[in-house]
Amino acid sequence: MDRYLDHPNHNAPVYPDQPKELQMVTMPDYVIEPPDLLSIQAVNLIPQAPYTLHPLDTIVVETSGLPEEQPVIGEYTVGIDGTVTLGFGYDEQTLGGEYRPLRIAGLTVPEAQKVIHERLAVHVQNPVVWVRLAGISAHQEISGEHLVAPDGTVTLGSYGRVRVVGMTVDQAKHEIQSFLSERFANPEVAVDVYGYNSKIYYVVLQGAGLGDRVVPMPITGKDTALDALSQIESLSSANSTRMWIARPGANSQCGDQILPIDWQGITQRGDITTNYQLMPGDRVFVAENKLVAFDTALAKLISPIERVLGVTLLGTQTARTIHLYNRTNTNLNNF
């Protein structure tokens, strides 16, 4: 490969079984890092017992033994003042006809059932009452997309923050459920990666003295060198066909790697030998055109000299013009 490419020396060898086109490997389990975007959906969040009722909670009341024209059945919402209105005159005490809705905020469901039973018993003999919780007003909505913050945590509203950095999706799910178990009985959530933002590779275009350009690209799991180069607009006249992949150290190939790319082979002959599969952190480096780089360097060297000579010439021509102008005026005055 070195016979047609000029590239930096590398420490780790390039093995024949290096992942490439038609010989790709599956990426390992995705590790969550900032600024990934997680999708968290609440599957089962039931408050731990005993739960006390709050304003705007919803309860379902079912009864028997009441007159058919005055039923107490269906959903009832706890008012902002903590009371519930049963209607049909059941909220009026028999003594004095005073209107008194039942205050159930702060009670557990069994306690609320007992209070409602006692109120109905004032009007009807031997009523039977069933009460169950239907909705929680203070339930913080955690379903949606959650950004992994720079400190590696995701925020679950009023419940607090959970650290998920360095975890796989399954590990993050277990950690979030464990965190919510302090408030809920056997919580269950669904976790997935909504935005893969932390794993990228780079395309570095050397600018032949005109400024290099770095283009970050997200990893999809099946990216090759040709895929990376197809993502940029085009190779300019400042770029050459000398290119390679610089792979950072601490990898399975025993350190930093330089993987030379045969541009003509990949594009003109369909040779997949150097169309390597890209890994997170790879740098696809496109070297500069040396002739363009030499021309740019020469222009930078000559430009100050040209500017000085140009100013000198302009000054000389200006002085000469002024001198000729004065002589012409003098001759005209003599006439």
Q: What tens digit of pLDDT does each residue of 285-294 get?
A: 988 877 876 7
pLDDT of residue 3: 39
Asked if 295 and 213 touch (Cβ cutoff 8 Å), the reply is no
Comparing CA positions, the residue from 226, 269, 303 lying closest to residue 4 is 269
Q: Which of 43-47, 138-142, 147-151, 251-255 has the highest mean pLDDT?
A: 147-151
52, 106 contact by CB (below 8 A): yes
12 forms bridges with which residues in the sheet?
A: none
Q: What is the mean pLDDT of residues 198-222?
A: 86
Report which of 278, 272, 215 is spatially closest to residue 246, judged by C-alpha positions: 278
Least confident piece of the model among 2-16, 79-93, 94-108, 152-166:
2-16
Q: What does the pLDDT average to over 221-233?
A: 87
Task: Tell me the whole-structure pTM to 2 decimals.
Answer: 0.65
Q: Which residue has the higher pLDDT, 208 or 244?
A: 244
Q: Is the per-residue pLDDT at 10 higher than 60?
A: no
Low-confidence winner among 99-103, 203-207, 225-229, 329-333 (lowest mean pLDDT): 329-333
Q: How far apart are CA 256 and CA 246, in angstroms?
A: 7
Residue 310 has pLDDT above 70, yes or no: yes
Q: How far is C-alpha 225 from the geometric centre of its chain's CA atoms?
A: 25
pLDDT at 190 (0 to 100): 93
| Residue 46 in this model has a pLDDT that exceeds 50 | yes
Provide the percentage of residues in the chain whose pLDDT is more than 70: 86
